[in-house]
Structure 1
Amino acid sequence: MTDHLLNLHVDVLAAMHRAGPRHFAKLAFVLSEEHEPAHIDLAHFRDRLLSAAADDELTALWRRTLTAWDFAENPSWSSFSARTDDRRADAYNRLGFGADLRKALDSVVPVFKEPGPVVISREFEPWYTRESAAARSFYWTAYEKMLRQKGWNDAAVSSLDEASHSVVERLSNPTREEPYGARGLVVGYVQSGKTANFTGVTAKAIDAGYRLVIVLGGTLNLLRAQTQRRLDMELIGQENILGAADPNDLDALVDIDYQDDEDWPAKFVSFGARPSTLGAFDIERLTSRDRDYMALERGISALEFEKPDRTRPLYDPANLHAARARVMVVKKNKSVLEKLVKDLKKIGPILGEIPALIIDDESDQASVNTTDPKKWEAGTVTRTAINGQISKLLKLLPRAQYVGYTATPFANVFIDPGDEEDLFPRDFLISLPRPTGYMGVQDFHDLDTVDDGEGEAEKKHVRGIYDSTGDRLQEALDAFVLTGALKLYRADHGVPSGPFRHHTMLVHESVRMAEHAALALRINTMWHNAAYTGPEGHTRLASLFDRDFHTHADDSLPTPTTYADLKPYVHEARRLINKGGTPVIVVNGESERDYAQPDLDFDRTPNVWKILVGGTKLSRGFTVEGLTITYYRRTTQQADTLMQMGRWFGFRPGYRDLVRLYIGREEQLGKGRAAKTVDLYEAFEAICRDEELFRAELGRYAPLVDGRPQVTPAQIPPLVAQHLPWVKPSARNKMFNAELVEVRSPGVWEEPTAYPEDPDALRHNTECWAPVLGALTHAPVSLCVDGSPQYDARVGTVSHKDLLTVLCDLRWSALEQFSPHLEFLLDAGREPGTIDDWFVIAPIQTSARRNEARILGHGPFSLARRSRRRGPLFGAIRDPKHVAAAKRLAGASNLTGNATVEQNVRPRRGALVLYPVVESEPRIVSDGSVDPRDLVMAFAFVAPPSTAQGDRPLVRFRAIDSTRAEAAIIDRDDMRS
């Protein structure tokens, strides 16, 4: 039966595709052939929405459309921010929809309000509009359709659409007369879908006119092949892979590289015919799944571009949109890249006419030039092998755009901005949002927990390497068997089994291959002595199930109430894990052959249920599918390396509650006198804080001021933080000097953490605060803001001048951490009418475990217990419940406070929260005062919005690069306060 209402809405919305929402009823009347009121009447549409089944196509159409309009960044039809109620209301107004229909649509398509990509960019010439993108969208449309077939929801597709669009619009116009090569960086999360983003970018870029795409796909054949298959399956498609071959001629298909792939051809995108016969253009692969780029044996015809009008350059639209695109996925290998450079040189002058796109996956690995600039000869840059070959590619292709992708951007932003031939992201840096359903930092670390107890995330997912009985490796193996059985149980009870195709455990202790072999033998021995088929084994599994997995099970997923219900599935889980006679795969080796194991090919092997033992090769780019249990104890002193080892981050549909991380809490780093004991979980938490702070800072400076960027990518390096002194943001040979002079933070909670450890310095700091302590009331008052808990505090006010006297005299363990903020406060004091005084809050603890003492004869005050993060820096100082009142008192929040709060709000008043901190049991002198040598006078502050000073930039930098006369490279180990 024909669905006339659906057909009409399809036609009407198609007419709005390029220009955005327009008056629906008027457009429907024009397009309706039958003019039946029932088809145009919006009340009929509303009734259908309210009664529609889950698979109703009309509802799905509007879900896609409204979500796309909600997500659109800077559309021509709306001035309201994306992902807001105002944007949705603007769309409804333009559609002419009434209140009842709006309510019905909101009920089936709520506004998705998660943040979008954060963009730091130079100004650029707009060329890639939504209208131009819609006009040429053959490959993007096919890719979008495939994502929906894979189960991506509308919000996920629209988010990818906007993020990839924001990359392509910052590339150079492929039809531009004067060549320009943009350089950019896209920052995602570890194992969070960066490949999907650069596949989307590739689709949009070739639709727009880029005709040579070079993807640098990792340093191993295994990784390169993964990337090639992904592009072939989701972008290039069946018809381009087959070329002129007849899909029904078996002899002609012998050389097709996916004949042994269980997903071929059903799960590979299909266009229905060769794209060139459908009014588009074909894609020619210059590499295949099993073959990296090889020197062309029959000349260079594969790299020659046809031009219908030979009197015009290739980039002329008359030629460009008729030409085939070439795509290659190459390994970051010196000899491979040399072959490519050599072949390109043979083409000649046309190289200057080819709009090319170079995508560098894991761009902070191998691509960055790590030679010591102090050893360069005068005027000559010495480059490492891979960096040198990429530099040659960019020289050969003046119209080439370079876009790096990484989850750990620190090495990239420390590249010398003054080296024009290097890969510094001078044009744009885009931080992708955390995807829905992604398990990341917040799922394993309780970043807002202020005490030393376990938070909810840690309780659910994190376990130590040791407990009272010793090493917990056997428990980790039991957890692997148990979670395998739970996956089988869930697949039997209605949960889609797709995510359970693979089930893996990762054991990562060392980079040494000899130790991998010994560890694999140890695990094999444990496995065969585990008695999983006997009473002893079942008793252990039942105990672990009851105290852990049943306790932390997701109530929305089927989980047996007793181990007896799960026991029948344990046998099958054990059988799958032990298939082939061993549960263990060792992943290491000196050559590529060592990685050519069927059980490492998650694409071609139907079910990989194994324990993977390895080192570096498992910690960069390689996706361990189905990873559920991780036993991890390898140390490193580099934040980006440590973060890349976080293979437990990723998507875990149907089993995220089963994920467990067994991680070293007290591990030795180094040997001999230099050895120190470190907490790996704490180290991960520290670098997670660094990463979250970096992303937050990017978001803070991303909004334009008067239509111009606040900062450019060249000013990003100072935003990189370092919470643990022994975990550097990146390898030393990837870090260049950049100095942050000032951070302006009106209305922002700022929390210094670099307090000194020396007792005399602590006493000095405490004495500095004496005038402020004396200004506080003895009687406590209650502070409260709507939606936040009430708490008591001693309060008072001090002038801005008096506070500056205190702050300027304080001592720090790392002066550079606070000096940019002090510069801001000093500058605010120089500007009349900017800031008058500060409302000081000293919170009072009310718990039975509270610790109180007088300070320099004042008080008593509550003493907070905090600990440093294995060095001079503390973690979180604040108690989250104190933030709202401070922000309201500083005029940085519109929430309403209680009478005490509202009576003390002033237009030019800041808020300062004092946290007298003790790290161990303090000494108390005769009058009940704490010994100032045992006291850390920590604080947080919120400057009033009046310190913003109009359109003045929020940051000032003194960035040092090689183009400046005073250029210097400073070893961060040698920096002193």
Structure 2
Amino acid sequence: MAQKMLRREARVNNGDVTMSLIRKSLDKVLPLFEDEIDQSQQDEIFSELIRRWSFSIGRNATLKGDGNHVDWLNAERKANWRYWARYADYMERHLPQKAVDALDVSTDEVLQQLEDPQRPGAWDRRGLVVGHVQSGKTGNYTGLICKAADAGYKIIIVLAGLHNNLRSQTQVRLDEGFLGFESLPNQEILSPVGVGLEDTDIAIRPNNGTNRTERGDFSTSVARGFGVTPEDRPWLFVVKKQKTVLTNLNNWIQTRVADHTDPATGRKIVTNLPLLVIDDECDHGSVDTQEQVFDENGRPDDEHNPTTINRLIRTLLHSFSRKAYVGYTATPFANIFIHNRSETPEYGPDLFPSAFITSLGAPSNYVGPGRLFRSAQGAASSSLLRPLSEKDPSEWLPIGHKNGYLPRWEGAEDVPPSLKEAVRSFVYACAVRKLRGQGSKHCSMLVHVTRFTSVQGEVKSQIEAYHRQLRDRFTRRIDIAEIEAEMRTEFEAVFRPSMASVRETFFDDGDERQVELMTDVSWGDVREVLPDVLADIVVREINGSAKDALDYEDSRNTGLKVIAVGGDKLARGLTLEGLCTSYFVRTTKMYDTLMQMGRWFGYRDGYLDVCRLYTSPEMIKWFGHIAEAAEELRQDFDAMAASGGTPRDFGLRVRSHSTLTVTSRTKMRHAKPMKISFSGDLLQTIVFDPKAVQANFTSGDRFLRGLGNGVDLNEQRWRAPGTNWSGRLWRQVSAEEVIDFLQGYSTHENSYRVRSDLLARFVRVMADGGELTEWTVALVGRSDGDPEAMKCIGGCRIGMLKRSHNNSEQNGPYSIGTLISSRDQAIDLTEAQWQAALELSQKAWRGDRESDDEKGPPKNPGGPAIRRILGEGDPVRGLRHERERGLLMLYLLDPKGSELDRSVLDPDQPILAWAASLPGSSSGRGLSDKDYMANTVEWEGFSDGLG
């Protein structure tokens, strides 16, 4: 009632809902329930309303194909849609109104790209929806399913992972969001749930071909009783991506559903029932990893035999004349590497998203890899992220251990100190949430240290023993003095200050209502509830052989407090409700797999400050690199969508990307012919070898002296009003001079994004083809005039930048988070170029906090838009492309600002860093694929590689 009242107020106040308005609405409603709602419940309702009205939603971006598609979705068509209406009502009970409105817009955008199910004739639409890890993709495709059923799609198949528990979890969600009843076998009376309680009319209940039990997948024996006709209500099937299940489903469609036989091929086809396939985690299991051969004319081999799951999915689609396929994933790399012309007569086209690719915007309260690992610099590195030492836990559970290994710490059946700390951290988190009125919410801890089930059982037993020890001491008060003193010191000296650090790091002035939910607590408060908290916690083993289960639904009124020990079943898709603490030491060197293992991403409203991730420094570094690469990909996607790109354009872009060797070798077979290209990239040095600092400075000094005097950096072709610079500028620098500098500069061997010698070779290849032949070189310094920070290089005196060391290894290379300022790539643009890039940036802006978007449309052009304008020009303004001009930016870093010991960096020797901004190119020039394979293996250390 209060939310509906606030929704009306929001319309009057241009969407702004203040805390006073929330209190005012509650004061009107609460008197109606004064005998039913006590003060603590009133406070909880108030906090929930604050949470619901305290964030924004990022916009979506879509690349549209140019196929035979007819626009069809309009207001008239949406009138009286009951499946969507009841789902929207249901979601209003769980989500802020802004989120429900955004879900409506988002699902309309995807549905519009599908074909009208009432359109006659044959049609085939294949698309991809890219979300964020743990961001609510299931809720999005549930809304899409509701609208598709309203529009007239009759057969809806959801491909839900590889394991029974994940399939069952998805079925339960769809019971609540679409079916409206508990899909249990052999039930004469179906119990309404979710949307079924919003609209109780059983006449619109969809049919279910699968159920929510662990064994509720598609079954041939059960399917014999199914009757499917065009007049019936829609059918829902939630099935595993497993050979037997998909084979049986295809056989049933061929024998019981198909209504037409193709006279030319003899193939049985369903013509009267439009099909929608939702492929959840579509990069996992669905991609054809067999290489298809193409002849000299580009025609695919008709005899190609795809891998099993891919073949069965394509067979399913090929059995319908009217069909739509939508893949959902947060890691789309493998899907984009699908060859866009792969096809066979027997199985039809491959699953390349030729119709559309939609990138979903993230709400401002979503915490994903971008926000988490960008914020890993400074305060948050010792708060949310807890780096593990090399000894602990590797001496307990060595990397590369075998099945049956018995983990031991100092010879005993005991967990290492870091895991004990993580368990205590989880106990504090549960206590704080209880004190904040969140005691009835689920709280979970993830322990992911091995893929072997036998070892997981040992780990579970050891954690249970430590938890039992803590519980017994606090509930029975036996030998409590020492552990109580230890935990008090730990909470007051480490955990509580880290809570404050997270609140300060992750939330700015616009998030005061979010911070309001995270009240501070004292040790005395925590100590009082510890016995109850410890008594509530259970330890579960989650794998294929264990009998344990995450029974969140059974504990929905009290909240499940669980430490979940597992491996692959916890690695993808399975949601850990209320995840607070993660202990993660599994290793992989594939971006998509690693990102999907990140179950700690998602929504942590009111308790983000108590969340902790325990993992190795190497894993923190890898996640930081992945977050950077994924964000760069997303920015390029947004710019491409703003300028009218297609899915095929995006596929080519990713295949030629300089860093995205990001999935398994078999999934990248069709990426092999691509050359490495830095066109359209921003490269910046962020890792520095202390041994090369002096030599690099000398190389840069020689380079700049050879360029002459140059001009003041403020004498650019055009400067935005109010913009002032400090430094020097040189124009029309030859490619040979830039190549000489790059060849004389040594990048660190662990530099993941940048190899100076490789870029030098790329510049030469481009210059030989008439591109990147002349350069603008800028020496950029601080402009605050601090005399202590001034140094001379190449005869120019500039201010050094301060960049802190972003690595827990104090004796390792000097590593920083980012080098350049966002405005630097606009150096020496003309006013027309600057304005064109600004307009493109504003068009691409989505208000996505995960992507570090500004809260309002940008006031300065972004790097991707600048590089695109320089590479393509702007016909509207008569701007030609400037592919012959690159931008090289040089900086001096203050070694004292690194906060590294003088034994690592000489405090008197400035560190020369550089960044290169390269215009886009359509020439296809680049380094040979042979060089690309060799160098990626060398600099990124991938065991899978590309060849």
In the superposition, the TM-score normalised over structure 1's length comes to 0.68
Distance 2:827 2:306 in 1: 51
- Displacement of 1:419: 1.0
Q: Which residue of 1 aligns with 2:641?
A: 702
- Secondary structure at the aligned position of 1:729 is classed as coil
**CA deviation profile, 1:583-630 (whole Å, cap 9, x unmatched):** 42122235xxx3563647667795321211111111111111121111
1:304 aligns with: 228
1:536 is displaced (CA, Å) by: 2.1
Q: In the alignment, is the contact (CA less than 8 A) between 2:712 and 2:729 conserved in 1?
A: no
Relative to structure 1, the CA distance from residue 778 to residue 753 in structure 2 (aligned partners, 3 Å threshold; closer, same or farther) is closer
Q: Which secondary structure does the structure 2 equivalent of 1:735 belong to?
A: helix
State the AA in 1 paired with 2:572.
R
Q: 1:779 to 1:685 in 2, by over 3 A?
A: same
SS of 1:229's partner is helix
Seq. identity, %? 25
Tell me whether 1:880 sits opposite 2:841 in the alignment: no
Tell me: CA distance 1:758–1:565, structure 2 relative to 1, closer, same or farther (3 Å). Answer: closer
Q: CA deviation at 1:188?
A: 0.8
Aligned partner of 1:513 in structure 2 is 453
Moved more, 886-895 or 195-204: 886-895
In structure 2, how many angstroms separate the alpha carbons of the residues matched to 1:888 and 1:323? Answer: 62
- Distance, in Å, in 2 between the alignment partners of 1:854 and 1:837 is 19
Letter in 2 for 1:838: T
Whether the 8 Å CA contact 1:843–1:913 is kept in 2: the answer is no
| Corresponding residue of 1:938 | 914
* Counterpart in the other structure of 2:563: 611
Describe how 1:539-688 pairs up with structure 2 within 5 A.
539-551=485-497, 552-553=499-500, 554=503, 556-557=516-517, 559=519, 561-577=521-537, 583-590=538-545, 594=546, 597=549, 599=551, 607-665=559-617, 679-688=618-627
Correspondence for 2:373: 445
Q: CA deviation at 1:135?
A: 2.7
- Higher CA-based Rg: 1
Residue 363 (1) aligns with residue 282 (2):
yes
SS of 2:317 mapped into structure 1: helix
Partner deviation per Cα, 1:738-797 (whole Å, 9 max, x = no partner): 63676765xxx933449998999996997587453454769998999999997743x132
What SS does structure 1 have at the residue aligned with 2:198? coil
Counterparts of 1:261-300 in structure 2, within 5 Å, are: 265=193, 268-276=196-204, 282-290=205-213, 291-297=215-221
Distance 1:182 1:849, change over 3 A: farther
Is 1:892 the counterpart of 2:831? The answer is: no
Residues 710 and 954, structure 1, Cα contact 8 Å, conserved in 2: no
Distance 1:159 1:839 in 2: 44
The verdict on how the C-alpha distance between 1:959 and 1:370 changes in structure 2, with shifts beyond 3 A counting, is farther
Alignment of 1:751 onto 2:751: no
Report if aligned partners of 2:127, 2:357 keep a CA contact under 8 Å in 1: yes
Q: 1:173 Cα shift?
A: 2.3
- Aligned residues of 1:295 and 1:343 also touching (Cα < 8 A): no
Separation (CA, whole Å) in 2 of partners of 1:702 and 1:881: 21
Structure possessing the higher relative contact order (Cα contacts under 8 Å, 6 or more residues apart): 2
The residue aligned with 1:674 is: none
2:319 aligned with 1:396? yes
CA contact (8 A) 1:486 1:566 kept: yes
Shift, 1:387, TM fit: 1.4
Residue 876 of structure 1: how far off its partner (Å): 4.5
Structure 1, unmatched stretches of 5+, are 1-5, 14-20, 22-41, 61-108, 243-251, 259-263, 277-281, 307-321, 578-582, 666-678, 898-906, 944-952, 961-965
* Superimposed CA distance per residue, residues 37-83 of structure 1 (whole angstroms, 9 cap, x where no aligned partner): xxxxx99x99x9999776769x99xxxxxxxxxxxxxxxxxxxxxxx
Q: Which residue of 2 aligns with 1:428?
A: 356
User: CA 1:528–1:853 in 2, change beyond 3 Å: closer, same or farther?
Assistant: farther
1:169 Cα offset (Å) = 1.1
Select which of 830, 834, 838 maps to 2:776: 838
Q: Does 1:522 align with 2:462?
A: yes
Q: What's the CA shift for 1:683? A: 0.8
Change (3 A) 1:301 1:744: same
Is 1:386 equivalent to 2:319 in the alignment?
no
**DSSP 3-state at the match of 1:445:** helix
Inter-partner Cα distance in structure 2 for 1:836 and 1:113: 44
2:440 is the counterpart of 1:503: no
Shift of 1:936: 6.0
The residue identity in structure 2 corresponding to 1:751 is L
Distance 1:896 1:168, change over 3 A: closer
**Which residue in the other structure is 1:486 paired with?**
432
Bigger shift: residues 158-167 or 546-555: 546-555
Give secondary structure in 2 for the equivalent of 1:352: coil
Q: Deviation digits for residues 568-591 of structure 1, max 9, x if unmatched?
A: 1111101101xxxxx42122235x
Aligned equivalents of 1:939, 1:652: Cα separation in 2? 36
Distance verdict in 2 for CA 1:885–1:514, change over 3 Å: same
Could you tell me how far apart the structure 2 residues matched to 1:118 and 1:810 are? 37
Q: Of the candidates 80, 84, 87, which is equivalent to residue 143 of structure 1?
A: 87
Paired residue for 1:26?
none
- Secondary structure of 1:168's counterpart equals helix
Pair 1:733-2:666 in alignment = yes
Partner amino acid, structure 2, of 1:717? V
**Once the 2 structures are TM-superposed, how far is the Cα of residue 935 of structure 1 from its aligned partner?**
7.3
Cα distance in 1 for residues equivalent to 2:190 and 2:491: 44
Superimposed CA distance per residue, residues 267-306 of structure 1 (whole angstroms, 9 cap, x where no aligned partner): 7443232345xxxxx4111111125344444875625214
> SS of the residue aligned with 2:674?
strand
CA 1:758–1:653 in structure 2 vs 1: closer, same or farther (change >3 Å)? Answer: closer
Aligned with 2:180: secondary structure? helix
Is this contact kept in 1: 2:160–2:167, CA < 8 A? yes
User: In structure 2, do the counterparts of structure 1 residues 618 and 162 end up closer, same or farther at CA, with 3 Å as the change threshold?
Assistant: same
Q: How many Å separate the matches in 1 of 2:252 and 2:107?
A: 30
Verify the 8 A CA contact 1:638 1:729 in the aligned structure 2: yes
Are residues 134 and 270 of structure 1, via their aligned partners in 2, closer, same or farther at CA, if it must alter by over 3 Å? same
Cα deviation, residue 644, structure 1: 0.9
Deviation at 1:720, TM superposition (A): 5.1
Q: What letter corresponds to residue 700 of structure 1 in structure 2? A: A
Relative distance call for 1:560 and 1:275 in structure 2 (3 A) is same
Q: 1:768 and 1:404, CA in 2 relative to 1: closer, same or farther beyond 3 A?
A: same
Amino acid of the structure 2 residue aligned with 1:339: N
Aligned AA (1:840): A
For structure 2, which runs of at least 5 residues remain unmatched after alignment?
Answer: 30-51, 261-269, 344-348, 393-415, 504-514, 744-753, 839-858, 862-878, 940-947
RMSD (Å), alpha carbons: 5.2
Give the drift of 1:378: 6.2
1:163 aligns with 2:72: no
Residue 349 of structure 1 corresponds to which residue in structure 2? 259
Q: Which residue of structure 2 aligns with residue 214 of structure 1?
A: 157
Could you tell me how far 1:914 is from its partner in structure 2? 0.5
Distance 1:819 1:256, change over 3 A: farther
Q: In the aligned structure 1, how far is the partner of 2:301 from the partner of 2:386?
A: 53
Paired with 1:882 and 1:371, the residues of 2 have a C-alpha distance of: 45
Matched-pair contact (CA < 8 Å) for 1:886–1:913:
no
- Say whether the 8 Å CA contact 2:354–2:648 is kept in structure 1: no
The answer to whether the Cα contact below 8 Å between 1:293 and 1:340 also exists between their aligned partners in 2 is no
The answer to whether the 8 A contact 1:752-1:818 is kept is no
Q: Deviations over 1:207-229 (max 9, x none)?
A: 11111000011111111111111
User: CA contact under 8 A between 1:768 and 1:806: conserved in structure 2?
Assistant: no
Instruction: Output the amino acid matched with 2:585.
Output: R
**Matches of 1:847 and 1:732 in 2, distance apart?**
51
Contact 1:465 1:473 in 2 (8 A): no
